[in-house]
Structure 1
């Protein structure tokens, strides 16, 4: 995006819903009013809902919800490399490719939709264009492979805090990465690591965030399982605002993952602690246990009916209905 058009979009995002005069913009950018008019028309052709009112200037529709780098950057106290697409097979795949090519810590990939969105354990993540927020963040943290789960935990908390901050909606977390609204899944985290072959050290981590914002025709297999934050209603937050809030919280935690500043909040939002659960996977039949605590390394400590305790560090759980 040319510099003038980029700056005009940033100004309009910062003043969303308020008119800025063409003369004011022209003076700030040291360009002609004709150049401002041309740039605004180009932005409108790209889908930005900008109103031009005589004697008042230009105004970005407050209900406009087009993902844009400037819309996100204008809400961040730091600068990040941002890559946006209307549709991608998978934002995680794109971010991993950038990581292998040497992209910097903080590089973020966003898309309005995914055609091959992925979840844990090889599952797909339903991510139609315009119905959610789909983003992946490349991190280069100084952590060992044993601590990689902490990145998932921190990301889950970052999303929950961002959603509550911008919408007032409180989400729960089902160990280890599902984001729940009530009893249904409204989103999830997919964390994938890139390790050095010789040392086994973690070179990079890609954190994928998928969040359902509005209802879409969910596949039949998701009936009764998935939901969205706003249902069929109008979101009270734009995707740019929400993405920026997630990045702010995530990078606060990323400054020092081992400090575990997110762990108490993760425990507080846990939907499993104190509940009867069923443990799946790990190549054994399902087992029933009670979730006791979240360990400092992110593992889930469970107690079996015979009193024996175990800390799970991978696998999957389902929460049994209350009696």
Structure 2
């Protein structure tokens, strides 16, 4: 760990408290000059570090830069040492995570970026990922699943995000099957799950869960075509730091749930949070929209749809929308 990272770790642990440069130098066994250089470098990266004569340095409570040091403070003890890579900008965290799998990335590896220049959603759609306002991350999992029930991972991840938002805010997010999360009828999160499969055994070698979450993206920042449909957890005038602990809680929830995926306890919460169950919907099949009724979620996360002719189908993937009635 570099001096800069060690200084950041101490400041994050003591957020809002003053620590003298000499104390930092003594703790890390380096010179005061090395501490000063580390502080200046962190300030240039956007960390709100206050420096006061005869008091020392303090990291502001409102500083909200994502860092592995800040995230680890809020991770469960069993996950404290998972590999976490944080970037200022990436084309896509899922792309980077898949590259890490090739390099033998292990279960629980996390890739995070302050910005995505080519963030992706399902069906090749772009996910708007502006700098310093959201959480854009991918988690590598090594589950014991076959391809047919891999939709469980996506449903589990959606629940993990909702529970993390519950913990740190008063908002009550809902889930639009299978992978979108809404607050007050505006989409605030998308989840893209991609599998690396072993075709000989029909099992999944690795899964990458990509999570794009709008935390404090101002409405005026969204492109015109998204301003009516996209939202954010925090409002424009909210000014408190949440991203490191929210990121950590999502990681805690995803990894904990993955350990007990076969118990499927999260499906109960998923159903309770569903915004489409009990609604008339359209679902897409062969590029055509078909009417139906969202009846239930099955034990593997599939959507049970009643068709107008009375027959039932189970959707394992695809696209749905609520059919508005006049």
Deviations 1:96-138 (A, max 9, x none): 1111221111111111111111001111111111231111111
The question of whether the paired residues in 1 share the 8 Å contact of 2:283 and 2:291 is answered with yes
Deviations 1:234-284 (A, max 9, x none): 35333212111111111110112111121111111000111111111x316
Secondary structure in 2 matching 1:79? coil
Structure 1 runs of 4+ with >6 Å offset: none
Cα distance between partner residues in 2 of 1:221 and 1:38: 44
RMSD of aligned C-alpha atoms?
1.8
Q: 1:167 aligns with which of 166, 169, 175?
A: 169
Which residue pairs with 2:83 in the alignment? 81
Cα distance between partner residues in 2 of 1:93 and 1:284: 27
Which residue pairs with 2:289 in the alignment? 286
The question of whether the paired residues in 1 share the 8 Å contact of 2:155 and 2:267 is answered with yes
TM-score w.r.t. length of structure 1: 0.93
Cα distance between partner residues in 2 of 1:179 and 1:197: 32
The question of whether the paired residues in 2 share the 8 Å contact of 1:52 and 1:59 is answered with yes
1:13 equivalent to 2:8? Answer: no
The question of whether the paired residues in 1 share the 8 Å contact of 2:61 and 2:240 is answered with no
Deviations 1:2-47 (A, max 9, x none): 1x33222112112211222334434443445454334323322333
1:296 equivalent to 2:295? Answer: no
The question of whether the paired residues in 1 share the 8 Å contact of 2:143 and 2:206 is answered with yes
Aligned length: 321
Secondary structure in 2 matching 1:87? coil
Q: CA deviation at 1:51?
A: 1.1
Q: Map 1:174-323; keep pairs closer than 5 Å.
A: 174-213=176-215, 214-215=217-218, 216-280=220-284, 282-283=285-286, 285-321=288-324, 323=326
Cα distance between partner residues in 2 of 1:284 and 1:60: 52
Runs of 5+ unmatched residues, structure 2: none
Runs of 5+ unmatched residues, structure 1: none
Cα distance between partner residues in 2 of 1:322 and 1:269: 22
Cα distance between partner residues in 1 of 2:189 and 2:44: 32
TM-score w.r.t. length of structure 2: 0.92
The question of whether the paired residues in 2 share the 8 Å contact of 1:166 and 1:237 is answered with no
